[in-house]
Amino acid sequence: MAAAFTILGRGRAGRALAEAWGDRVTLAESSAKPEGLVLLAVPDDAVPAHAADFPGRCVHMSGSLHLPKVPCAHPLTSFDGCARDWTGTPLALTGPVPETLRTAFTSLGFLPFELAPEAKPLYHAAAVLACGHAATLWLGAEALLRARGVALPGRGLLPLAEATLRNLAELGAAGRTGPFVRGDGATIARDAQALPDPWRQIFMDLGQALD
């Protein structure tokens, strides 16, 4: 069976999607010049140059960047290079994404929705807050404990993170817990004092961000 399109780029996203789609697609190096429909799985700063190589027959995957004549399909997930269960994962579409690609993504469980070009930077910033920055906070918390010689047994902070996500999924804003939610000023002050800069300011800013 001939491949329906080519994924250009062997990064985490390209490898994961290629594994999931199997022989329906061809996975190519970013330097390749394939024929037919091309899905650009390349870094944002490389998108314009690659898009120029495939005028009228490519779709890019940047959640933040908008190119007026190049449609975009952005899966709202964190790829790790392997096929996963993406059931219920939003897929932001900007511009006329070919039906071949729409069908390919929905076959993996992605849920498409239309995203206006002017909304892309805010959409992507929100994604960074929920994903990349959340990971930074977790890794930072681990580093702070490790620096003070606090070694958590078992799975460390992971159960706390899992319980937090579960509470948010089930209860929404009511699933948020902690001293800022309770208005426990004494605990907030004591905890903040224990933190070095810049974590003290981050701790306070995030705690008050939803006030």
Give residue 211's pLDDT. 85
Residue 124 lies in a domain: no
**Per-residue CA distances from 190 to 137, 180, 200, 206 (Å):** 19, 13, 11, 16
C-alpha span between 165 and 168 (Å, rounded) = 5
The bridge status of strand 58-60 relative to strand 25-28 is unpaired
Query: Residues 166, 197: one domain?
Result: yes
Whichever domain contains 201, its CATH number is 1.10.1040
Contact 47, 65 (CB under 8 A): yes
Give residue 1's pLDDT. 58
Q: What is the pTM (predicted TM-score) of this model? A: 0.93
Domain stop point among 83, 116, 149: 116
To which residue do tokens 């605990």 refer? 187
Domain stop point among 57, 81, 116: 116
Query: Residues 100, 199: one domain?
Result: no
Could you report the per-residue pLDDT of 104-143, keeping only the tens digit for each? 999 999 999 999 999 999 999 999 999 999 999 999 999 9
Query: Residues 27, 103: one domain?
Result: yes
Query: Residues 138, 110: one domain?
Result: no
C-alpha span between 114 and 91 (Å, rounded) = 9
Number of structural domains in the chain: 2
DSSP per-residue string spanning 123-148: HHHHHHHHTHHHHHHHHHHHHHHHHT
Residue 9 lies in a domain: yes
Query: Residues 140, 41: one domain?
Result: no
Domain containing residue 49: 5-116
Query: Residues 19, 110: one domain?
Result: yes
Q: Name the residue type at position 102.
A: R
Give residue 160's pLDDT. 96
Low-confidence stretches of the chain (pLDDT < 50) are none
